[in-house]
Amino acid sequence: MIKLFEVEDKPQRLKGPVMSMYFYDDTDEWPEYKIIKDDIHRLEVTHLEFLKELQEAESACISDPKNENLKAKVDVLKKKLKEIEKRLNESLSMYR
């Protein structure tokens, strides 16, 4: 029997540091991106907390529509949510 090709069973190991062929695969290790990712995570958590609080306030406002304090609280929470969403979008644009 004649062998046309020699096939090596063992995979080749690369020597030295291995670099990704895509730039963004390596950025997760950079401290600057870690700071941005941590800021994004903090803003997302804050956003979720305000959303929950807003839902509770709107629910209370529906059950007591004459309460002006609840209406004011809903308005304040909506403004804070818009501000957080703006900051979150800015942070996300830096990370992309």
Q: What is the pLDDT of residues 58-90, one digit of tens each?
A: 999 999 989 999 999 999 999 999 999 999 888
CA distance 47 to 80: 9
pLDDT at 80: 95
**Residues 13-66: tens digit of each pLDDT:** 555 555 555 555 566 677 877 888 888 899 999 999 999 999 999 999 999 989
Q: What domains appear along the chain, each with residue ranges and CATH number?
A: 31-95 (1.20.58)
pLDDT at 34: 83
What does the buried/exposed string (b/e) look like for 61-93 if buried means 16 or more CB atoms within 10 Å of the residue's CB? beeeeeeeebeebbeebeeebeebeeebeebee
Which residues 6+ apart lie within 8 Å of 19 measured at CB?
26
pLDDT at 8: 56
Q: Give the rounded distance of the alpha carbon of 94 from its chain centre.
A: 12
